[in-house]
Amino acid sequence: MTTASRTISVADIEEFAHLTGDENPIHLDDAYAAKQLFGGRVAHGLLTLSATLGLWYQSGLFDGWTVVFLGIDKLRFLRPVRPGESLTARLHMLTREPSPKGDRVDLENTTLNGTNEPVLTFSARLLISRPSAVSRASPS
């Protein structure tokens, strides 16, 4: 499955920096970042990961399901993501095993930039279940 795309903006990067406290100037200061390893401002790797997970949810893949992340493995940041770049996630289900609390699902993800170069790869283990009806009866 391939998701829709999302563009990472300067505002996304700045908000993520302030939210997390990771205010490294490579993310926030154009002049500083221009003299560094990537030759310009780049998004946080964890912003790229978070945006990828958002793309999963926006795809409708998990509509009607409760999703619990059990782990992420083999997380690799392959290329920097710059402001203005678009991201798309490509997912592949590896396994699905029933368990008493739901199904354990192993997924493989590749996040691509606008030129279809991989920028992020990882495997994820999820626990998914359809929520049962919750009683809203008033207490006696």
Choice between 60 and 132, residue whose per-residue pLDDT is larger: 60
Domain assignment of residue 88, yes or no? yes
> For residue 17, what are the contacts with CB-CB under 8 A and spacing of at least 6?
23, 24, 27, 28, 44
Per-residue pLDDT at 53: 97
* Residue 13 domain-assigned (yes or no): no
Residue 79, domain extent:
2-7+43-129
CATH of the domain at 65: 3.10.129.10
Asked if the structure places residue 113 within a domain, the reply is yes
Q: Shortest CA distance to 4 belongs to which of 84, 80, 120, 114? A: 114
Q: Report yes or no on 64 lying in a domain.
A: yes
Q: How many domains does the chain have?
A: 1
Instruction: Tell me, yes or no, whether 16 lies in a domain.
Output: no
Contact indicator for 3, 59 with CB cutoff of 8 Å: yes
17-46 pLDDT per residue, tens: 999 999 999 999 999 999 999 999 999 999
Both structure tokens of 1? 């499955």
Percent with pLDDT over 70 in the chain:
94
In a domain, 14, yes or no: no
The answer as to whether 90 is a domain residue is yes
pTM reported for the whole predicted model: 0.89
